[in-house]
Amino acid sequence: MLFLAAGGLAALPCPAQQAPPDVPAPGEILIRAFRQSADGPWRRLRGSVELETTEMLLAADEIDYNEETEDVEARGNLRFRHKLRGEEVRAERAEYNLRTEAGKFYEVRGEVPPKVEPRPRLLLTENPFYFEGRWVEKTKEKYILHDGLITNCKLPGPWWTLRGPKFDIIPGDRALVYRSVFRIRRVPLFYTPFFYKSLETAPRKSGLLTPNIGNSSRRGKMVGAGYYWAINRSFDAAYRTQYFTQRGFAHHADVRGKPRHGSEFNFILYGVNDRGLRLPNGDRRKEGGFILSFDGESRIGRGWNARGEVNYLTSLRFRQAFTESFNEAIFSEVHSIGFVEKHWSSYGLNFVLARGENFQSIDPERKISIRKLPQVEFIARDREIWSRGLPVWVSLESSAGLVRRNQPLFQTRQFLDRMDVYPRLMTALRWKGFSLLPSFAVRGTHYGERLENGQVSGKNIRRTAREASLELLMPSLERTFDGPRWLGDKVKHVIEPRASFRHAAGVSDFDKFIHFDETELYSNTTEAEISLINRLYVKRGGEVSEVASWQLWQRRYFDPDFGGAVVAGRRNVLLSSAGLSPFAFLDGPRRYSPVVSVIRLNPVPRFGMEWRADYDPLRSKLVNGSLSADAHVSNLFVSLGHNHVRSAPVVQIAPGQFTGLSPSANQVRGIVGFGNENRRGLSAAFSAIYDYRIGIMQFATTQVTYNTDCCGFSVQYRRFGFGARNENQFRVAFSLANIGSFGTLKKQERLF
């Protein structure tokens, strides 16, 4: 064996006497060979030859090496490996220069380590990128592959290949392919004159987006294309257009940016130039429009932060017709808010701009709009002002601003002044585990307008209320005992009783307040609440966890009509009822609220269940309830839910308008599946929402995916059946591991 130092060639003793160095020093070249001969500056190396530097290793059966120029001619079973970047090249022969790191390799096979970037819904693999070619031209940083292919599937017989006459690859940077054909197995799928793939850890590069195609029973066949623009390191934009043969063009624009540290924004615009849905009589009903959304935040400095979210919808009809999300399609509200805030010590100051719209129907004119432009909020959280003997805390909630409400029956003036001040004093008495928390508060509110006989009047109205409350926390009752083996080593049962009393007075003319938010739900009341919580804890191997809980609570009203705020025969929503249950239950004066029950079970890891039910003693039945359960065992996952609302008798909400106390509902939703986005082999899932009241499957999705070691095939069937929308959709996607996917199935629409 030979060792070639920077200054020349030196013979080494027999390997039995001294082993060669493992790693050459910088500037040195380590040569191993069974025999060698000299021919001027050339060294003829034969038999398992290796040339090694600190950065690379070149091995072959025969190598001719020029000491002066550092040119290398290698033949037979050639292997080249770059130690720092990890790429490897195998070839029949090569012409290479160690100094410039440039040369040519013939009949090439090689691989480049993958840049694995885990992202949601991205198929991953540890396979490197393989490449083959007739010959490769290598420079210091680049490989140019001629008449070859690339893939990240295991060879031989890869699932997919990209073949072309020229590949330009910079490991760790990017890959360019010219006039290439993408094949699945040996079947050509599509041709592209130019293809770019980033190999960076965080790639960003302008270019055309992968085109997609699809079909819809309401929109016809669809074809789409787009462009991504990496403006600079801090900003980018994307535009995609889709053409529906029956409806017209859809446009989607997305602009993102991070102007400076601590600031970022995202702007999205989606719209459709709709030719109209063809009706049975031949007419067309146009459902076009657009959705605009913006969200951003920024750290202004000196503790100030700004955040905002803007949403604008032209009509509910457009959302129901063209959104791909069931939850979004049935949601009839649009909210926008922006605020600048600062929090210090126990204080908070907010400047708020807000606008909300509630669409009453698909008619764009039938909506309720509420605006705050602007509103200032000052909050002082509980702060101790006296600590000797009996502690005393003080807190404050206050707001002042200009508000507006607009709806078909009436509207306020553009800028209606409203101010609210709500200070509170609280103390605590503690004795042998008992805690008594009394508090006293006053609340003053001013409005620049009022309601009189259902119409807006320019007269001011003021509200001055006083409030006293008392909360009793009693000691918990506990017992620990040996549990069954399947549950745990030890089991602890804990009972937590609580009671509270609240009295508020001074609110008169409740029906004259214009409603903007929960501030107007404040009313007179004298009420008591009792609550009982049962908790079950288990100890498994030194770890304690809660496996079950059951909470019951109910309120007793000593003022059945809440100082005249409750009107018989209509739906009434007050702060006292909204804080107890999300379902309205006040259709007239009453002394008892429903009994609210919440049961939660988590007996084993990866399983959870919650059942919430409201039992109304006035009607002697469960008036509403919801049940949800989730389980995940190995690759099997199940999620089920049921929502049931039994509406009370019809009540009047306005002259000539009647409705149930709470909208009736009886829906079941669920998803069951086997597999995940990275499971090799077959995965399948089914999701559905079924409405028992009308006997319609409102939404259903079935997805089947087959993943290989390097790619995946997904087919999804989607069914919409609500309102005027009766539509079937088929979505397909082909995923390349570590790269992405193309097709009509978007990542946010996948079940896994």
Every domain of the chain and the residues it spans: 2-198, 478-663, 680-752
CATH code given to domain 2-198 = 2.60.450.10
Looking at residue 665, what is its pLDDT?
84
Looking at residue 2, what is its pLDDT?
33
Q: How many C-alpha atoms does 409 have within 13 Å on its Cβ side?
A: 13
The rounded Cα 84 to chain-centroid distance in angstroms is 37
Compute φ and ψ for 217, nearest 5 degrees. -70, -20
Which of these, 701, 722, 721, 705, lies nearest to 713 by C-alpha position? 705
What are the E-state strand segments in 558-635? 595-601, 607-616, 621-633
Strand duo 621-633 + 461-473: pairing: unpaired
Looking at residue 654, what is its pLDDT?
56
Whole-angstrom distance, CA of residue 611 vs CA of residue 599: 5
The first and second tokens of residue 181, run together, are 């054909």
Q: Name 42's Cβ contacts closer than 8 Å, sequence gap at least 6.
A: 64, 65, 66, 67
Whole-angstrom distance, CA of residue 673 vs CA of residue 56: 48
Q: Name 526's Cβ contacts closer than 8 Å, sequence gap at least 6.
A: 502, 503, 504, 557, 558, 559
Looking at residue 660, what is its pLDDT?
60
Whole-angstrom distance, CA of residue 531 vs CA of residue 311: 40
Q: What is the DSSP letter of 154?
A: P
Compute φ and ψ for 327, nearest 5 degrees. -60, -40
Residue ranges, the chain, pLDDT below 50: 1-21
Looking at residue 18, what is its pLDDT?
40
Count the Cβ atoms, other than its own, within 10 Å of residue 475: 12
> pTM (2 decimals)?
0.78
Whole-angstrom distance, CA of residue 51 vs CA of residue 40: 19
